[in-house]
Amino acid sequence: MSPLGKWDRDLAHRSLDELLSLTRQYKPSSAYRELLEFVARFRFYAPFNAMLTYVQMPGARFVRRTCFAGSIVGVVDPADA
């Protein structure tokens, strides 16, 4: 395995460890239910990505996916500006 591949794998492991440790704050059932309701609202996202969004922005209502960034009217690519 290349050093870059090992680094990517280590980074993924650390990210998962952090996410799982953050879920410990959801021991109260009301907090856990709020998390699940948030994840359910973002049904077009993988649950992992929705959980990451919740950890970073618990009040988020809309999150733009990068694959749609160019298709939004009024978005200007900095390279074209």
Q: Residue ranges per domain, the chain?
A: 3-57
Give dist(CA 44, CA 74) in Å, integer: 23
Q: Which of 66, 50, 68, 47 is nearest to 58 (CA)?
A: 50
Mean pLDDT along residues 7-18: 80
Q: Which of 18, 58, 24 is nearest to 42 (CA)?
A: 58
- What's the confidence (pLDDT) of residue 72? 46
Per DSSP, 61 falls in state: S
The residue among 79 and 13 whose pLDDT is bigger is: 13
Side-chain-facing half-sphere of 21: CA atoms under 13 Å: 6
- Token couple for 28: 């109260």
- Which tens digits make up the pLDDT trace of 59-74? 888 877 666 555 444 5
- What's the confidence (pLDDT) of residue 24? 75
- Which tens digits make up the pLDDT trace of 14-55? 888 887 777 777 777 788 888 888 889 888 888 888 888 888
